[in-house]
């Protein structure tokens, strides 16, 4: 791979921590979601994290427009946004997986689904899935039109986290367990984050 040009999408800011960028392409627009937080030496990912969105055209990939802050800490709500995983599995649909996280206190996963602007309110995955997981990696569309989500979670019967595959047959409005990918206990190692690739079939996943 030959790197032709380097450029910054977010200028470096003293005291700010920008991380976990993800990309998705929809038509001629490239979307980038990332987490932005305050530097905190005692917390590896900082604190007061929020989710920011940027966009660029495919013809001007070095010219990004700030689309604003989607989710931020609020009184009575999220305290620290950690994830910002954006997906465009179809030409019409986009998803954004986010998480309110505080080590040892909260680990709440959310999913936003929308077709065009404005952005919708996000929903807790626990409300739209029979197996709530922490989403990781892009949501993909199969050749049969189903949507697949990769994620990981522990259960009451199996506290050790394991990777799971969820499926949606209604364009992401609800999600159901398709498969447990592997067992951390059987593997003898903690298995969590994994992502899906795509080979063959008609265009769709980006």
143-162 pLDDT tens trace: 899 999 998 887 666 677 88
Distance separating alpha carbons of residues 131 and 99, to the nearest angstrom: 16
How many domains does the structure of the chain reveal?
2
**Which of 92, 111, 128 is at the close of a domain?**
128
- Tell me, yes or no, whether 102 and 159 share the same domain: no
* Residue 201 binned pLDDT confidence (cut-offs 50, 70, 90): low
Q: Whole-model pTM? A: 0.83
- Tell me, yes or no, whether 99 and 191 share the same domain: no
- Tell me, yes or no, whether 110 and 144 share the same domain: no
67-112 pLDDT tens trace: 888 887 775 567 788 889 999 999 889 999 998 887 777 788 899 9
DSSP assignment string, 70-129 = EE---TTS-S-EEEEEEE--SSS-EEEEEEEEETTTEEEEEEEEESSSSPPPPEEHHHHB
**Which of 96, 128, 160 is at the close of a domain?**
128
- Tell me, yes or no, whether 118 and 190 share the same domain: no
Distance separating alpha carbons of residues 199 and 179, to the nearest angstrom: 20
- Tell me, yes or no, whether 88 and 21 share the same domain: yes
- Tell me, yes or no, whether 34 and 88 share the same domain: yes
Which residues are 114's β-sheet partners? 94
- Tell me, yes or no, whether 44 and 141 share the same domain: no
Reported as half-sphere exposure (CB side, CA atoms, 13 A), residue 51 has a value of 25
Residue 204: inside a domain: no
Residue ranges making up the domain that contains 190: 133-197
Residue 202: inside a domain: no
- Tell me, yes or no, whether 118 and 37 share the same domain: yes
Residue 205: inside a domain: no
112-122 pLDDT tens trace: 998 766 666 78
For the cut 80, the answer to whether the pLDDT of residue 205 exceeds it is: no
157-181 pLDDT tens trace: 667 788 889 999 999 999 999 988 8
26-53 pLDDT tens trace: 889 999 999 888 888 777 777 788 898 9
């Amino acid at each position: 791979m030959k790197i032709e040009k380097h450029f910054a999408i977010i200028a470096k800011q003293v005291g700010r921590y920008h991380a976990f960028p993800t990309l998705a392409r929809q038509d001629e627009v490239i979307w980038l979601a990332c987490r932005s937080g305050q530097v905190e030496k005692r917390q590896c990912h900082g604190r007061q994290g929020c989710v920011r969105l940027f966009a660029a055209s495919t013809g001007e990939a070095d010219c990004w427009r700030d689309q604003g802050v989607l989710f931020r800490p609020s009184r009575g709500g999220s305290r620290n946004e950690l994830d910002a995983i954006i997906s465009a599995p179809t030409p019409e649909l986009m998803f954004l997986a986010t998480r309110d996280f505080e080590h040892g206190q909260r680990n709440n996963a959310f999913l936003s689904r929308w077709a065009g602007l404005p952005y919708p309110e996000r929903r807790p995955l626990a409300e739209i899935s029979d197996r709530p997981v922490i989403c990781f990696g892009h949501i993909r569309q199969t050749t049969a039109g189903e949507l697949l989500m990769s994620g990981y979670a522990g259960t009451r019967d199996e506290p050790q986290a394991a990777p799971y595959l969820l499926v949606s047959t209604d364009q992401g409005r609800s999600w159901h367990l398709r498969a447990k990918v592997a067992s951390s206990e059987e593997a003898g190692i903690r298995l969590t984050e994994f992502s899906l690739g795509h080979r063959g079939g008609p265009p769709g996943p980006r």
